[in-house]
Amino acid sequence: MKSFKQQLRRARVAVVALGLIGAMPSAFAAGTDFGTDITNTASVNYSVSGVPQTVINSSPTGNSTPGAGNGAPTTFEVDKKIIFIAEETNGAATVTSPGLTQVVTTFRVTNTSNGAEDFGLLADNTQPPAIIFGRTDAFDMSNFTYHVSAAACSTATMATPTFASEPAVTHIEQLAEDACVYVFVRSDTPVSPTAANGLASTIRLTVTATTDASNGATPEVETAAADNATVVDVVFAETGVLNGNVVENGVSMAFDQYFVGTLTVTKTAAVISDGFSAAGQFKAIPGAVVQYTITVQNNGLVTSGAALTEVIPANTTYVAGSTTLNGVARADVAGTMPFVSGGSINSPAAAAGVINPGSTAAERAVVTFRVTIN
Amino acid sequence: MFKGSGFFAVAAIVALGLSSQALAQTQGCIVLKSVAEVEQVSINAKGEKTTKLVPAGKVVPGVEVTWTVTANNTCKQPSEKVTINNAVPEHMTYVANSAVGPGTDVTYSLDGKTFGTADQLTVQENGATRKARADEYKNIRWVFKDSLQPGAQGFARFRAVLN
C-alpha cells in the first residue's frame, strides 16, 4: 500500500517552470515562411527476449536499420500562401484642374503572405460596382505612371504621404511579409470642357501577385490540386475589399478619384438709388446708381495670378472711385474702372493673384463697382 | 601435414561465426515508417462530402497535417515494451487530443525529458501552477501495452497545424 506521500510524488509528474513557452511560437503574422522544410522523424524502442534493442528511427518508406544515425526524416516544403490587399488611403478625391498633368492619387499595398512577394501595378478607368465619394464618373484620366513612396509605411496606421518625385516603376519588388508600401498613381487630366468644374473621374488600381524575377509581368498561378512536396506551390488566400474584387485569385483592386475644381464667377446687380424712390423701391431709370458685385470662388486648387477683366455695361457711366476689392477701395486706372484693363484679384488677406480654395467669405474674392444709368 | 590442416579448419569456422553475428546486427526487428498526410475533401457522385488522407503537398500556414507512424515486426520473436517517440515538428503545433494508437498509453512532454498524461502536465506561470495546454506539448510517446507479435503492425497517429 503506497503512502499518501508516495502517491502524491507520482502524480506530480511534470511541473515545469516556463518562461516563454506560454507565448506563441515566434513567427510572422503570416505564418511559417514558404520554402521552409518541415521535417519529422519518429523513433521506436523495444526489447527482444528481455534485451533492450538499439533504437530505430523512421523513414518515409520504412526503416529497420537500428542506430540514431539511420532512418530519414519525413519532410515536406511549406508553400506560398499569398495574402495581400490594395487600399485607397484617405477616402477623398484628389483635386485637379482641366489640363493638369501628373496628378497624384495614393494607395497602400500590404503583404501578409508567408514570405516576400512581387506585385504588378496597373491603373485604368474601369469603374467600381458603386460610385465612390458620392460622385459619378464623368471623364477619363490618361497616361498612368506608378511610383513607390520612399516614406515609411505602417500596417497599423494609414497615412497619405506626399509625392517626393520618386521614380516611375512597373511593379513593387519583393515587398517583405507583414510590410506595406504606399504607391502613387499619377495621371493627366483632360482639358476643358471634358474636365470641367465639379466633374469627377474615378480610376482603378489593380495589384497582382507576380512571380519573382518577372518584374511584375507574370502573375502567380495557384497550383493545381496535384501535390508536390518538393516544390513551393501557391495558394491564394487574399480577401480584399468588396468593390468588385474576386477573392482568392491573386488580385486586389482599389479605386480613387480625381475631382475638377475651377474658379466660378457670379455677378449680381442692384439699384442702390434712383433719386426719387424710397429705399428698397429703386428703379433702373436714367440717373439711377447700380452697384455690380462680382464674386469669384475657387473650387479647386489654390491659384496664383488670378485676374479679373470687367466691362462697363453699355448705356451706363462708371462712378469714379467706386471700385472695391474685398471691401477695400481699389484705385481707378487710366481714369476708369481698374478691371477694364484686367487687374489681379485675391482672397482677403492673400497676396495678389492668390485665391484660396473655399466657399466662405474668408476665401472668396469680391469686387464691386458702381455705374449710373445714362 | 595433418596438424597444419586441422588448424586451418578451425580458423575457417571461427571466421564464419563472426561474419554471421555481424549480419544479425544490421537490421532491427521493426520497420518504422512515418508519413505526412492532409485531409482532402471531395464531393462524390452522390453529392456527399467525403474526406480521405493524401500525401502532404500543398501545405500552407494554418493547414492541419496528420502524421502516421507504423511499426512492423519483421522478426520471429515478439517485440516487447514497444515505445514510439515523436517530437512535435518544428513550426507546427500539436492538435489537442489528436494522438491515437490502438493498444497504447499516450503521454506527452513539455521538455523532452519528463512525460505525463494531459492531466499530469503542468506549467508555472506568473507564480501560479496551471495545466499545460496542448499547444505547449513538445513530444508525444506511445507505449504499447502488449508485445508486438511477429508479422504484426503497431500504429500511432497525431495531428499538428502548420504555424
User: Do the domain assignments include residue B13?
Assistant: no
CATH 3.40.630, applies to A81-260 = no
What is the model's pLDDT at position A62?
97
| Cβ-Cβ contacts under 8 Å, B79 against chain A | 46-48, 53
Higher local confidence (pLDDT), A93 or A233: A93
What is the model's pLDDT at position A288?
92
**Residues 66..95 of B with a Cβ closer than 8 Å to A: which?**
67, 69-72, 74-75, 77-87, 89-93
Higher local confidence (pLDDT), B120 or A6: B120
Q: Determine the distance in angstroms separating the CA of A47 from the nearest CA of chain B, rounded to an integer.
A: 5
What is the model's pLDDT at position B25?
54
Contact B58 A66 (CB under 8 A): no
What is the model's pLDDT at position A4?
43
What is the model's pLDDT at position B104?
97
**If you average pLDDT over residues A161-181, what whole number do you get?**
97
The x, y and z cell numbers of residue A361, run together, are: 467669405
User: Do the domain assignments include residue B119?
Assistant: yes
Nearest to A58 among B32, B93, B123 (CB): B32
User: Do the domain assignments include residue B108?
Assistant: yes
Report ipTM (2 d.p.). Answer: 0.83
What is the model's pLDDT at position A10?
41
What is the model's pLDDT at position B161?
97
Is pLDDT at B102 greater than 90 in this prediction?
yes
Higher local confidence (pLDDT), B22 or B51: B51
Contact A235 B58 (CB under 8 A): yes
Higher local confidence (pLDDT), B15 or A243: A243
User: Do the domain assignments include residue B118?
Assistant: yes
Q: Determine the distance in angstroms separating the CA of B97 from the nearest CA of chain A, rounded to an integer.
A: 19
**If you average pLDDT over residues B60-80, what whole number do you get?**
96
Is pLDDT at B156 greater than 60 in this prediction?
yes
User: Do the domain assignments include residue B17?
Assistant: no
Nearest to A38 among B78, B85, B162 (CB): B162
Contact B61 A66 (CB under 8 A): no
How many structural domains does chain B have?
Answer: 1
Q: Are strands B64-73 and B115-116 parallel, antiparallel or unpaired?
A: unpaired
What is the model's pLDDT at position A56?
97
What is the model's pLDDT at position A227?
56
Residue boundaries of the structural domains of chain A: 81-260, 263-373
Residues A221-253 have pLDDT tens digits of 987 655 556 667 788 888 777 777 888 889 999
Assign residue A11 a region (left: φ > 0; alpha: ψ between -120 and 50; beta: otherwise).
alpha
Lowest mean pLDDT among A101-105, A282-286, B125-129: A282-286
Check CB contact of B56 with chain A, cutoff 8 Å: yes
Contact B60 A58 (CB under 8 A): no
| Cβ-Cβ contacts under 8 Å, B31 against chain A | 62-64
Contact A41 B34 (CB under 8 A): yes
Number of residues that this document lists for chain B? 163
Check CB contact of B99 with chain A, cutoff 8 Å: no
Q: How much of chain A exceeds pLDDT 70, in percent? A: 90
Is pLDDT at B11 greater than 80 in this prediction?
no
What is the model's pLDDT at position B45?
79
A117: confidence class by pLDDT, cuts 50, 70, 90: very high
**If you average pLDDT over residues B56-85, what whole number do you get?**
94
What is the model's pLDDT at position B16?
46
User: Do the domain assignments include residue B20?
Assistant: no
CATH number, domain with residue B40? 2.60.40.1170
Q: What is the pTM of this model?
A: 0.77
Is pLDDT at A180 greater than 60 in this prediction?
yes
User: Do the domain assignments include residue B127?
Assistant: yes
User: Do the domain assignments include residue B2?
Assistant: no
A176: confidence class by pLDDT, cuts 50, 70, 90: very high
Is pLDDT at B17 greater than 70 in this prediction?
no
Contact A18 B123 (CB under 8 A): yes
Contact A13 B109 (CB under 8 A): no
- What is the residue-wise DSSP string for A111-152? E-SSS-EEEEEEEE-PPPSS-BTTB-B-S--EEEEEEE--S-
| Cβ-Cβ contacts under 8 Å, A74 against chain B | 34-36, 67
Q: Which domain, by its residues, includes B154?
A: 28-162
What is the model's pLDDT at position B42?
80
Check CB contact of B140 with chain A, cutoff 8 Å: no
Residues A33-63 have pLDDT tens digits of 999 999 999 999 999 999 999 999 999 999 9
Is pLDDT at A25 greater than 60 in this prediction?
no
**Closest residue in chain B to residue A73, using alpha carbons only:** B34
